[in-house]
């Protein structure tokens, strides 16, 4: 989502199809050459296992006997909204995470609407999850898993006739000064590590680690889960070029399998499952209860470069974009830099476009260099623009602070949870505020090959981004691509199942549009179809332009396209065939099935 100055740090929701036709592909569409998942069936079953049964009251009472009052019937906290003002709490991500029937987004046009499951197990321990999984397997009930509910595809909610495994209450963090994975051979060097449980959020992990002078590589949004879909789907934070993807930082996973068995997976035991779960997607291979993350020495300096550059004509804007992509490819593709720029921020929540906006909002992080050093590096990009006031207005500022202060912001850059009895120090960045309770008109994420920033290809890329910026916000983030990452981090990333295309990508582009505080089915607060359609059309048009100038860039499952055709290749590339085999080994009946997840063909 965003850093303290307001640049979104995690992208919006995905519509990464190359053309409008691809974006409208049916849910079950897949490329002819993609590996096909056979209809899942348990050993000895005569046919496919379909998890759409709904047992009677007696069966549910048996589950209640197993988990006690932790079996509940969730409701949506906005279900009884009346026309008029929306309560402040519905724009508070920490409040929403406390509600089993809520998600951070309320839906996406033509895709999904947030739906509360009929029943939920509010798990407090691994045994609660085992009981829920065993019940679902025996009774063929659809299972949904939710920690914090940030998933852009709606994979952490409903359908109504489903059993939610809600892990919010499983929150504890352990700092390890000397961690060795289970089953490792004698003499394996110990490392600093942090173990999180299924309900923890990144703010909790960051602050606890910082108290010990450590840092774990997670996401930018403070309320995103630190033991779930972020790392399982790959996961990128502001400093991933220095410390690697979220998946690469995972040392060990404790997971409840579809069989109900709890296993510990790492590089030394269940190594195939460990590989698959570090990048193969959340809600797919089992329910994670614990995740141990590699901890690094906390950096010294956290820096920020922020402010708008306004071009005074279309031609000047095209030139500005080309200058930036060349600068990004040649200078910003090393571990010092993260985040990037937004083109035409105002289009994010708009429903009318092509209004002549030509604004580049800079929002870039730097790590462990001084402000003066950062300013010196950027002069080659900014000085020529300042020298042409007839074409550009440049208002870019540089600042830095001790890295540990990131987790102790002020009200200038953060919003604090001020509810009565709320935990002290819980906040979210102001730049994230508009994404809470977002109803998405459309969204797309796409990698940018480094080669497209070089020579004549830079002009082609710039023209494509200019064309896309006529009808959508364009977010460019260097940290969500691993070309130029630190060699030590790359060595770990190469052991994961993330899309190999990311190693050749210099940046990740997001296009998206949304409205805040829209609730499908709630009178007086429903999305306006004409507005959603305008956003959908605008983003799809932009998506086609971006796709055209990023051949081979691919995407990834956390921030890709809900409607993506050939999603197996686009999200996982050459890793998909192996991922599918591991999925069939550990979940042969496809109990854990999510939209556009491994093994979901035909679902």
**What integer pLDDT is reported at residue 245 of this predicted model?**
98
Q: Is 565 helix (H, G, I), strand (E, B) or coil?
A: coil
Do 38 and 580 contact (CB within 8 A), yes or no? Answer: no
Q: Which residues in 433-450 are b (16+ Cβ under 10 Å) and which e?
A: bbbbbbbbbbbbbbbbbb
pLDDT tens readout for residues 292-301: 999 999 999 9
Which percentage of the chain shows pLDDT scores above 90?
Answer: 90
Question: Who has greater pLDDT, 34 or 183?
Answer: 183
pLDDT tens readout for residues 339-370: 999 999 999 999 999 889 999 999 999 999 99
Average pLDDT over residues 277-283: 97
Write down the residue that tokens 């410390």 correspond to: 243
Of 44, 48, 71, 43, residue with least CA distance to 59: 71
- The separation between the first and the last C-alpha atoms of the chain, rounded to the nearest angstrom, is 30
Do 126 and 261 contact (CB within 8 A), yes or no? Answer: no
- Element containing residue 335 per DSSP (H, E): none
The yes-or-no verdict on residue 318 having pLDDT over 60 is yes
Distances, alpha carbon 318 to alpha carbons 85, 321, 459, in Å = 42, 5, 9
Cβ contacts of residue 558 below 8 Å, gap of 6+? 152, 229, 230, 233, 234, 235, 281
Q: How many CA atoms lie within 13 A of 238 on its CB side?
A: 27
pLDDT tens readout for residues 323-344: 999 999 999 999 999 999 999 9
ω into 533 cis (within 30 of 0) = no
- Element containing residue 194 per DSSP (H, E): strand 191-197
The yes-or-no verdict on residue 201 having pLDDT over 50 is yes
**What integer pLDDT is reported at residue 48 of this predicted model?**
52
Residue 498 class from Cβ within 10 Å (0-12 exposed, 13-18 middle, 19+ buried)? buried
- 3-state SS, 92-107, equals CHHHHHCCCCCCCEEE
CA distance 583 to 588: 7
Average pLDDT over residues 264-293: 98
CB pairs under 8 A, 24+ apart, for 329-334?
329/450, 329/453, 329/454, 329/458, 329/506, 330/453, 331/377, 331/380, 331/381, 332/364, 332/478, 333/241, 333/450, 333/478, 333/483, 333/484, 333/506, 334/241, 334/484
The yes-or-no verdict on residue 33 having pLDDT over 80 is no
Q: Domain coordinates of the chain in residue numbers?
A: 173-298
Average pLDDT over residues 266-281: 98
Q: Both tokens of residue 531?
A: 């507005």
Average pLDDT over residues 24-43: 38
Which percentage of the chain shows pLDDT scores above 70?
Answer: 92
Residue 529 CA, chain-centre distance (Å), reads 26
Q: Can you give the C-alpha Rg of the chain in angstroms?
A: 23
Q: What is the mean pLDDT of the chain?
A: 92
The yes-or-no verdict on residue 31 having pLDDT over 70 is no
> Which of 34-43, 56-65, 81-90, 136-145 is least confident?
34-43
Distances, alpha carbon 282 to alpha carbons 58, 127, 229, 404, in Å = 31, 20, 4, 30
- For domain 173-298, which CATH number applies: 3.40.50.300, 3.40.50.2000, 3.40.50.2300, 3.30.465.10? 3.30.465.10
Query: How many CB atoms sit inside 10 A of residue 480's CB?
Result: 33
**What integer pLDDT is reported at residue 42 of this predicted model?**
39
Query: Any alpha helices (H) in 549-590, and if so which ranges?
Result: 567-572, 576-586
The yes-or-no verdict on residue 205 having pLDDT over 90 is yes
Question: Who has greater pLDDT, 94 or 18?
Answer: 94
The yes-or-no verdict on residue 263 having pLDDT over 50 is yes
The yes-or-no verdict on residue 57 having pLDDT over 80 is yes
CA distance 480 to 233: 13
The yes-or-no verdict on residue 428 having pLDDT over 90 is yes
Cβ contacts of residue 559 below 8 Å, gap of 6+? 10, 11, 13, 14, 152, 443, 445, 480, 508, 510
Do 352 and 533 contact (CB within 8 A), yes or no? Answer: no
Per-residue confidence band for 26, with pLDDT thresholds at 50, 70 and 90? very low
Q: Report DSSP letters for 41-98, one per residue.
A: --TT-SS---------HHHHHHHHHHHGGGEE----TTTTPPSSPPPGGGG-HHHHHT
pLDDT tens readout for residues 508-557: 999 999 999 999 999 999 999 999 999 999 999 999 999 999 999 999 99
């Amino acid at each position: 989502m965003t850093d303290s100055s307001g640049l979104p740090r995690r992208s919006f929701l995905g519509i990464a199809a190359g053309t409008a036709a691809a974006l409208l592909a049916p849910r079950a569409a897949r490329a002819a050459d993609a590996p096909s998942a056979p209809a899942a069936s348990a050993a000895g079953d005569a046919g496919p296992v379909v998890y759409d049964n709904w047992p009677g009251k007696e069966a549910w009472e048996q589950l209640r006997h197993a988990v006690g009052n932790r079996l509940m019937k969730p409701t949506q906290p906005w279900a009884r909204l009346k026309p008029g003002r929306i309560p402040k709490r519905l724009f508070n991500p920490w409040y929403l995470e406390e509600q089993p029937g809520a998600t951070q987004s309320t839906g996406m046009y033509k895709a999904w609407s947030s739906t509360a499951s009929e029943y939920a197990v509010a798990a407090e321990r691994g045994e609660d999850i085992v009981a829920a999984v065993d019940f679902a397997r025996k009774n063929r009930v659809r299972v949904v898993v939710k920690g914090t509910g940030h998933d852009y595809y709606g994979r952490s909610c409903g359908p109504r006739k489903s059993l939610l495994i809600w892990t919010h209450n499983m929150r504890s963090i352990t700092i390890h000064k000397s961690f060795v994975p289970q089953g490792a051979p004698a003499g394996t060097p110990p490392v600093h590590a942090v173990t999180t449980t299924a309900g923890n959020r990144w703010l909790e992990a960051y602050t606890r680690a910082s108290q010990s002078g450590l840092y774990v590589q997670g996401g930018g949004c403070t309320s995103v889960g630190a033991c779930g879909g972020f790392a399982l789907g790959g996961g990128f934070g502001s400093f991933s070029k220095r410390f690697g993807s979220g998946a690469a930082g995972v040392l060990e996973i404790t997971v409840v399998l579809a069989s109900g068995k709890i296993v510990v997976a790492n590089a030394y035991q269940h190594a195939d499952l460990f590989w698959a779960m570090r990048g193969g997607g959340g809600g797919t291979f089992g329910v994670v209860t614990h995740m141990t993350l590699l901890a690094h020495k906390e950096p010294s300096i956290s820096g920020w470069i922020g402010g708008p550059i306004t071009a005074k004509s279309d031609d000047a804007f095209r030139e500005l974009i080309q200058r930036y992509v060349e600068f990004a490819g040649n200078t910003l593709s090393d571990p010092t830099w993260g985040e990037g720029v937004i083109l035409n921020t105002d289009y994010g929540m708009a429903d009318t476009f092509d209004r002549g906006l030509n604004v580049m909002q800079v929002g870039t992080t730097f790590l462990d260099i001084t402000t003066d050093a950062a300013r010196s590096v950027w002069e080659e990009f900014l000085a020529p623009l300042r020298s042409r006031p007839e074409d550009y207005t440049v208002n870019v500022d540089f600042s830095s602070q001790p890295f540990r202060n990131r987790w102790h912001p002020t009200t200038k850059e953060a919003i604090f949870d001020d509810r009565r009895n709320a935990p002290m120090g819980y906040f979210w960045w102001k730049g994230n505020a508009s994404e809470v309770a977002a109803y998405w008109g459309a969204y797309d994420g796409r990698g940018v090959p480094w080669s497209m920033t070089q020579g004549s290809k830079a002009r082609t890329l710039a023209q494509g981004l200019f064309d896309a910026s006529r009808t959508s916000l364009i977010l460019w983030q260097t940290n969500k691509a691993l070309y130029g990452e630190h060699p030590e981090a790359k060595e770990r990333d190469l052991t994961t199942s993330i899309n190999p295309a990311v190693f050749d990508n210099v940046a990740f582009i997001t296009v998206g549009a949304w409205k805040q505080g829209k609730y499908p089915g709630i009178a007086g607060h429903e999305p306006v179809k004409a507005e959603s359609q305008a956003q959908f059309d605008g983003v799809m048009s932009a998506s086609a332009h971006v796709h055209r100038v990023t051949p081979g860039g691919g995407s990834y499952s956390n921030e890709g396209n809900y409607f993506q055709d050939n999603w197996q290749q686009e999200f996982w590339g050459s890793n998909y065939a192996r991922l599918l085999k591991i999925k069939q080994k550990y979940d042969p009946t496809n109990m854990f099935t999510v939209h556009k997840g491994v093994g979901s063909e035909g679902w």
